[in-house]
Structure 1
Amino acid sequence: MTRTVLVTGGTSGIGRAIAQRFAADQAEVFITGRTPETVEQTAKELRVHGVVCDAADSGQVEALAARLNELDVLVNAAGGLPQATSGEGSALEVLLAQWHANLAQNLLTAVLTTTSVQDKLTRGSSIISIGSIGAERRGGSYGAAKAALGAWNASLSAELAPKGVTCNVVSAGYIADTNFFHGQLSDERRSALLEETHNKRPGTVDDIAQTAYFLASQGARHITGQTIHVNGGAFTTR
């Protein structure tokens, strides 16, 4: 039976890899992004449906939800490290803008999208949100937003699991070949990130895509309310 999958932030990096993985399984996949040209090009390349949508905009999210009928898998992959603010205004105003941007991009995108499609989820469906190792340490406002994502996911699971919907976070460590650092990752910082891992390699977008795909499988129906860490051992749970 063909599944319907929605991947926010599906035009690049982790989101694109996840969309591609589900598309390879013959799912009907919808991807979103904020730039029309990028959405159109990615949808054509992956042979999926593309929808222009800023997942932090409630009106655009409502319009997105109106296009969907039943939904089997929701992947909240929209997010990332916001571009640095211009520095205009007082120090507190700049700080406030930075926190608002991180909360909007990395928490509210998932909350708004999930809420908008919640009544379309089928029994046996899955919600997967992309978190970050930044929630565990040195994450600043970005890490705080991702930590809040995990807390929200736990409460969401308590609400939806009785209805047959699993809810999990995939917390990614350092993933190579994404635009997360906006091209500003130094060789020294990259070496330090690799040294933190146990297997001494960067993660790949496919590492995250395969984990997300598993969490939406029949083999993962008793996994819910969890944060799954995929970071090569850079952060371990006990």
Structure 2
Amino acid sequence: MTRIALVTGATSGIGRAIAARFAADRAEVFITGRHADTVERTAKELGVHGVVCDATDPSQVEALSRRLSSLDVLVNAAGGLAGAGSPGERSPLEVVAAEWQANLAQNLLGAVLTTTAVRDLLAPGSSVISIGSIGAERRGGSYGAAKAALAAWNAALSAELGPHGITTNVISAGYIAGTDFFQGGLTDERRDALVQETHNKRPGHVDDITQTAYFLASPGARHITGQTIHVNGGAHTTR
């Protein structure tokens, strides 16, 4: 039976790679993004369905849910490092408020809205996977705080959906090379420092996250739920 997967924020980086992995497994994949041109191009390249949707907009998310009749895998990959925009004539506190609101919206609210909109479409055996960050553990500022809240929400969501046979987990990614997360602001020195923090002395790759997501949606992971899975080469360890 063909699985149906929805991957938000899938026009680039981790989201795109995850969508491609499920498409390669012959799942029927729906991807979202905020810009029509990139959604259309990515959908055509991957051979999947593309839907323009801003995950922070309730009306757009509701419209997205109406495109689906059932769902086996939801991957909340939309998010990223959000800024406050140009200060303009805003006060310093207004700038801080804008930055925090933007990061909370992109990295927490979008996942909450999307999951809430489609939860009734998730059958027993389904999986919800959200992309977190090592920034939730240290030096993350407003972005890290939003990702920490994502993990806390996931734990509560697991308790709600677990009795229905639905697993929910967060993949907390460390430094992943080949993405535009730093938006061109990553210096060679900072990159080297991030690699040196790992135990295996290499940067993460999108495939590290992709394969983890694929496993969490597999039959072998049915007793893994409510967890934050750290994929960072040992840069942050747990016990």
Please, what TM-score do these two structures have when normalized by structure 2?
0.99
1:149 is aligned to 150
Matching of residue 27 in structure 1 with residue 27 in structure 2: yes
Alignment match, 1:194: 195
Residue 87 of structure 1, CA deviation: 1.3
Check if 1:214 corresponds to 2:224. Answer: no
Q: Give the distance between the partners of 1:83 and 1:146, measured in 2 at CA.
A: 15
In structure 2, the residue corresponding to 1:72 is in which secondary structure?
Answer: strand
The structural deviation recorded for 1:83 is: 3.8
Alignment of 1:54-133 (within 5 A): 54-88=54-88, 89-133=90-134
For 1:66, give the aligned amino acid.
R
Aligned to 1:166: 167
Instruction: Write out per-residue CA displacement over residues 135-155 of structure 1, whole angstroms, 9 at most, x where no aligned residue.
Output: 000000000000000000000
Q: Distance in 2 between matches of 1:201 and 1:85?
A: 33
What are structure 1's unaligned runs of at least 5 residues?
none
- Verify: 1:49 aligned to 2:49, yes or no: yes
Query: In the aligned structure 1, how far is the partner of 2:225 from the partner of 2:81?
Result: 27
Q: Which residue of 1 aligns with 2:232?
A: 231
The SS at the match of 1:69 is coil
Partner AA of 2:58 in structure 1: S
| Poorly superposed stretches of 4+, deviation over 6 Å | none
What value does the CA root-mean-square deviation take over the aligned residues?
0.6
Contact 2:10 2:78 in 1 (8 A): yes
Number of equivalent positions: 238
What's the CA shift for 1:84? 4.7
Q: Residue 137 of structure 2 contacts residue 148 of structure 2 at CA under 8 Å; is this kept in 1? A: yes
Distance in 1 between the 2:49 and 2:120 partners? 21
Q: Helix, strand or coil for the counterpart of 1:117?
A: helix
Gapped runs of 5+ residues in structure 2? none
- Equivalent in the alignment of 1:8: 8
SS in 1 for 2:69: coil
> Are 1:38 and 2:38 an aligned pair?
yes
Shift of 1:71: 0.2
Partner Cα separation in structure 2 for residue 171 and residue 70 of structure 1: 27
Q: Deviations over 1:83-121 (max 9, x none)?
A: 452112000000000000000000001000000001000
Q: CA–CA distance in 2 between the matches of 1:80 and 1:123?
A: 30
Q: Which amino acid aligns with 1:237?
A: T
Q: Which amino acid aligns with 1:129?
A: S
| Distance in 2, Cα, partners of 1:235 & 1:77 | 21
Equivalent pair of 2:83/2:99 in contact (CA under 8 Å): no
For residues 56 and 212 of structure 1, the distance between their equivalents in structure 2, rounded to whole angstroms, comes to: 23
Q: Are 2:84 and 2:96, in contact at CA under 8 Å, matched by a contact in 1?
A: no
1:182 partner amino acid: Q
Return the letter of the residue paired with 1:10: A
Percent of aligned pairs sharing the same letter: 77
Contact preservation (8 Å) 2:124, 2:166: yes
